[in-house]
Structure 1
Amino acid sequence: MIMHFQFKPLFENKNIPGWNFSFYHKKQRFTGVYHQTGKIEWTSNTPEQEEMEALKSQIHELMLYHVYE
């Protein structure tokens, strides 16, 4: 489960898509970049392979809810 999810625009011009995000999962902090295409680029720790798809799905849902509402 993702906890303390945060995001902010990559660029000062908020019309340019791309967002930095961070969250905690199992007491470990993860950060990354969410691109307009939905691609996730990890900038810190990479989640374990068996958790990767579930976390990506949760991030996509959160971004759709908060950014594209």
Structure 2
Amino acid sequence: MLQHFSYKPMYENKKLPGWTFAFFFQNKRYTGEYQPDGGIQWTGDSPSDEESVKKMIHELMIFHVYD
């Protein structure tokens, strides 16, 4: 489970897609960029269970940004 998930727009013009995000997973902080096409670019280390974490990020982004 992701903890303390936060995101913000990459660009000042909030209508442009693209967001940065941060969260804690297994007591370690991770950061990255969520691309307009749903791609995820890690800005640091990637989690060991990357595919599972990506699914959780997609669900959160769909709920918060696209809904």
Mapped partners of 1:25, 1:63: distance in 2: 16
Mapped partners of 1:47, 1:4: distance in 2: 16
Mapped partners of 1:12, 1:24: distance in 2: 25
Structure 1 residue ranges, 4+ long, deviating more than 6 angstroms after superposition: none
Mapped partners of 1:53, 1:44: distance in 2: 16
> What 5-or-longer segments of structure 2 have no aligned partner?
none
Match of 2:59 in 1: 61
TM-score (norm 2): 0.97
Contact 1:18–1:35 (CA under 8 A) maintained in structure 2 = yes
> What 5-or-longer segments of structure 1 have no aligned partner?
none
Question: Percentage identity across aligned positions?
Answer: 48
Match of 1:22 in 2: 22
Cα offset, 1:7, TM superposition: 0.1
Q: Please tell me the root mean square deviation across aligned C-alpha atoms, in Å.
A: 0.5
Counterpart mapping for 1:1-69 below 5 A: 1-48=1-48, 51-69=49-67
> How many residues align structurally?
67
Mapped partners of 1:59, 1:39: distance in 2: 10
Contact 1:10–1:20 (CA under 8 A) maintained in structure 2 = yes
